[in-house]
Structure 1
Amino acid sequence: MSNILDGERHYGWISIVLHWLVGFLVIGAYFSGFQAGQIKEDFEMLEAQGNPALEQQIETLKGERSDLMRIHVGVASLFWLVLLARIVWRTRNGQLPAVPQQPEFLQHLAIWVPRLMLVLLTVMIFSGPMIIWSYGYPISPFGLFKIPSPTGPIDGLGGNLSAIHIWTGHILASLLLVHILGTLKHLVIDRNTRSLKRITSPKQPS
Structure 2
Amino acid sequence: MESITNTPTRYGWAMIALHWLIGIIFIGQFVLGVVMVRIESQRTSFELIQLHKSFGFLLLGLIILRIAWRLGNAAPPLPAAVGTLERKTAPLAHFALYAFQIALPLSGWALVSVSTLEIPTMPFNLFVMPNLPLAESDASESFWASAHWYLAYAGIALVALHIAAALRHHFLLRDMVLTRMITPSSGRE
Instruction: Report the secondary structure of 2:72's partner residue.
Output: helix
- What are the equivalent positions in structure 2 for 1:6-155 lying under 5 Å apart? 6-39=6-39, 58=40, 60=41, 62-135=42-115, 136-149=118-131, 150-151=133-134, 153-155=136-138
CA gap of 1:202–1:161, structure 2 versus 1, over 3 A, is: same
Structure 2 partner of 1:44: none
Tell me, yes or no, if structure 1 residue 179 matches structure 2 residue 159: no
Higher relative contact order (CA 8 A, sep 6+): 2
For 2:130 and 2:172, how far apart are their aligned partners in 1? 51
Distance 2:87 2:36 in 1: 36
Q: What is the root-mean-square deviation of aligned Cα atoms in Å?
A: 2.3
Q: Distance in 2 between matches of 1:166 and 1:94?
A: 33
Give the partner amino acid of 2:69: W
Q: CA offset at residue 23 of structure 1? A: 0.6
Post-superposition CA distance 1:59-89 (Å, at most 9, x none): x2x2332232122111112123211111111
Q: Which runs of 5+ in 1 are unaligned?
A: 40-57
CA–CA distance in structure 1, aligned partners of residues 124 and 31 of structure 2:
17
Unmatched 5+ stretches in structure 2: none
Match of 1:49 in 2: none
Contact 1:10 1:96 in 2 (8 A): yes
- Cα shift at 1:153: 2.5
Q: How many residues align?
A: 185
Equivalent residue for 1:191, pick from 174, 183, 189? 174
Residue 115 of structure 1 and its aligned partner are, at CA, apart by 1.3
The answer to whether the Cα contact below 8 Å between 2:57 and 2:123 also exists between their aligned partners in 1 is yes
**Against the structure 1 CA distance between its residues 12 and 144, is the aligned structure 2 distance closer, same or farther, given a 3 Å change threshold?**
same
Higher helix proportion = 1
Quote the offset at 1:110 in angstroms. 2.5
1:111, distance to aligned residue in structure 2 (A): 2.2
Q: Quick one: distance in 2 between partners of 1:148 and 1:8? A: 42
TM-score (norm. length: structure 2): 0.86
Distance 2:45 2:125 in 1: 15
Rounded Cα–Cα distance in structure 2 between residues aligned with 1:67 and 1:138 = 13
Deviation at 1:108, TM superposition (A): 2.7
Alignment check: 8 A CA contact 1:28 1:75 kept: no
Report the residue type matching 2:162 in the other structure.
H
Contact kept in structure 2, 1:28 and 1:72, CA below 8 Å? no
Cα 1:172–1:146 change in 2 (3 A) is: same
Identity of matched residues, %: 24
